[in-house]
Amino acid sequence: MSPRKLNMESSIYLGNDGWWHGRVTMGVKSDGSPDRRHRRARTEAAVRRKVKELEKLRDEGRAPVAGRKPTVAEWMTTYLTTIASLKLKPRSLDDYWSKTRNDIIPGLGQHRLDKLAPEHLETLYAAMLEEGHAPSHVLKVHRILSRALKIAHRRRIIVENVTTLVDPPSVDETEANPFTTEEAKGFLEAAAKRPNFMRWAVGVGMGFRQGETLGLRWRYVDLENELFHPNGSSNASPGATAARARTPAAPGCTASSRARRTARRTGPTSADAPSLVQRRATRTRVLALSGRAAD
């Protein structure tokens, strides 16, 4: 064995096992003990290359922290439990957990984080597409992985974020193709024959997304001023919500939609529903948009 080297210098020697070994002093561990890393190879040239790579990471301050590296499953659990949970909204966090449990952990969970390779991700994405997942779903999984590994890289748990080396599936942007006035009228005429007509009338008339349309409540509606208040109050909040709250509604769209759903669940005596006369009046006004008269 070679004599002891000076502080922070590395040792390279041929062991009794026939392998070449390298020892690199990285600094100290969190408990104050020396942090000395080991590398080995069949040839002296190979071990010298590994030692120089480790020394370069040390000198640049990019060396991974000492200790056993977590698996992908362990790190994703840590990331979602203690890191992402502090920043994400509940629904977004639920989506992250769902894709982690159903896609990431089954496909990559047993890999050690520092051993994860681009090929592992590419194999997972190809398998997901083969199973029928949409490219947008695979792209979301890629982004979740990317954010989790970005934190691991920032904390020097890994040397490189491998998601930056992988091209996820591309998702074509669909250009909006809104209805013309005549198309909107034709659509409303057809929708008026369905029991959930008001859902479609609100969507077409206000441009609401499906979740917004189905989530409307009576407290969001100002019948007197013919306004929607998406924040649930008759006083609009500042910013974008306030601007949206001042958008005039096709009067009664929300009221009738709520009345239909309430009637199916609790019957026509629901306490927060408007009078039958009022519902008939508002429905007549919406039907007028499509050129039809109320029955």
27-57 confidence digits (pLDDT tens): 777 677 888 888 889 999 999 998 988 888 8
User: Do residues 18 and 100 share a domain?
Assistant: no
* Residue 293: both structure tokens together: 């008269």
Residue 154 lies in a domain: yes
Provide the 8-state DSSP code for 294. Answer: -
Domain assignment of residue 191, yes or no: yes
Which amino acid, one-letter code, is at 275? S
Residues 192, 285, single domain; the answer is yes
SS3 letters across 6-74: CCCCCEEEECCCCCEEEEEEEEECCCCCEEEEEEEECCHHHHHHHHHHHHHHHHCCCCCCCCCCCEHHH
The stretches of 131-252 forming alpha helices (DSSP H) are 135-154, 181-191, 197-206, 210-214, 240-245
Average of per-residue pLDDT across 61-89: 87
- Does 121 share its domain with 188? no
pLDDT, position 36? 84
Q: Is residue 176 part of a domain?
A: no
In a domain, 80, yes or no: yes
CATH assignment of the domain containing 100: 1.10.150.130
The percent of residues in the chain predicted with pLDDT above 70, rounded, is: 72
Integer Cα distance of 6 and 34 in angstroms: 14
* Residue, of 179 and 52, whose pLDDT is higher: 52
- Asked if residue 5 belongs to a domain, the reply is no
Which letter, b or e, does each residue of 19-28 get, where b requires 16 or more Cβ atoms within 10 Å of its Cβ?
Answer: ebbbbbbbee
How many independent structural domains does the chain possess?
Answer: 3
Place of tokens 């491998």: 162
Residue 171 inside a domain? The answer is no
Least confident residue range of 32-46, 169-183, 188-202: 169-183
> Does residue 161 sit in the same domain as residue 78?
yes
Strand partners, 22: 12, 39
Tell me the C-alpha distance between 114 and 265, whole Å: 54
Looking at residue 235, its pLDDT comes to: 40
In a domain, 91, yes or no: yes
Range of the domain at 230: 181-289
Cα separation of 165 and 153, whole Å? 14
To the nearest whole number, what is the mean pLDDT of the chain? 77
Where is pLDDT greater, at 111 or 177? 111
Residue 63 region by backbone torsions, left for phi larger than 0, else alpha for psi between -120 and 50, else beta:
beta
In a domain, 65, yes or no: no
